[in-house]
């Protein structure tokens, strides 16, 4: 096991400024944690430039709009913040995680006046797969669960709550559901 993500050295762009990595925290009663009012992107930088940065920033803002919140930074400001994180951490080849969520001013399903936060972190994250294994071929399995119909959940948003299917599939043996009790 490597270093825990809360114990990495570096900086994270958090609500408009660079903060030390270990100080980029949110409260346990943050709306985004309890009600999944959280959207994110997963991006890569190669040679010091974020791959398709603007397209990812546009999708991040579109996902937030689907979840009925507006990220208060422009596409250009988000792109610049991602580049600043890459440059400030000295990571020309990195994984980036922009993430936006509703804050902790109010708990309850409806929290339209909660502050919208945005953070951008970057770290070295190599391929999930060993290069030799990739050349040999990688096996995949289908999860027991399927993405919900777009009429039942905002499936077009890249939202945190939609990833529980992936989490369950990757942590349970053979991706199979545990029996209900």
Residues taking part in catalysis? 158
8 Å CB contact between 99 and 13: no
* Helix/strand/coil percentages in the chain, nearest 5: 35, 20, 45
- The Cβ of residue 170 has, within 10 Å, a number of other Cβ atoms equal to 10
Alpha-carbon dihedral sign for residues 150, 153, 154, 155: negative
Task: Report d(CA 82, CA 40) in Å as an integer.
Answer: 13
Q: Within a 13 Å sphere around the CA of 179, how many CA atoms are in the beta-carbon half?
A: 1
Sign, CA dihedral 127-129-133-138, equals negative
Number of H helices, E strands in the chain: 5, 7
**Cα separation, 60 vs 69, whole angstroms:** 11
């Amino acid at each position: 096991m490597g270093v825990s993500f809360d114990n990495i050295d570096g900086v994270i762009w958090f609500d408009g400024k660079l903060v030390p990595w270990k100080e980029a925290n949110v409260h346990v009663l943050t709306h985004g944690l309890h009600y999944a009012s959280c959207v994110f992107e997963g991006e890569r930088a190669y040679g010091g430039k974020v791959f398709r940065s603007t397209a990812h920033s546009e999708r991040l803002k579109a996902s937030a709009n689907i979840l009925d919140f507006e990220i208060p930074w422009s596409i250009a400001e988000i792109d610049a913040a991602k580049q600043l994180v890459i440059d400030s951490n000295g990571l020309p080849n990195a994984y980036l995680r922009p993430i936006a969520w509703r804050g902790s001013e109010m708990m309850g399903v409806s929290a339209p006046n909660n502050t919208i936060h945005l953070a951008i972190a970057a770290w070295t994250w190599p391929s999930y797969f060993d290069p030799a294994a990739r050349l040999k071929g990688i096996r995949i399995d289908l999860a027991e669960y399927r993405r919900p119909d777009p009429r039942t959940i905002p499936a077009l948003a890249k939202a945190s709550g939609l990833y529980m299917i992936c989490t369950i599939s990757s942590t349970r043996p053979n991706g199979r559901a545990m029996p209900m009790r």
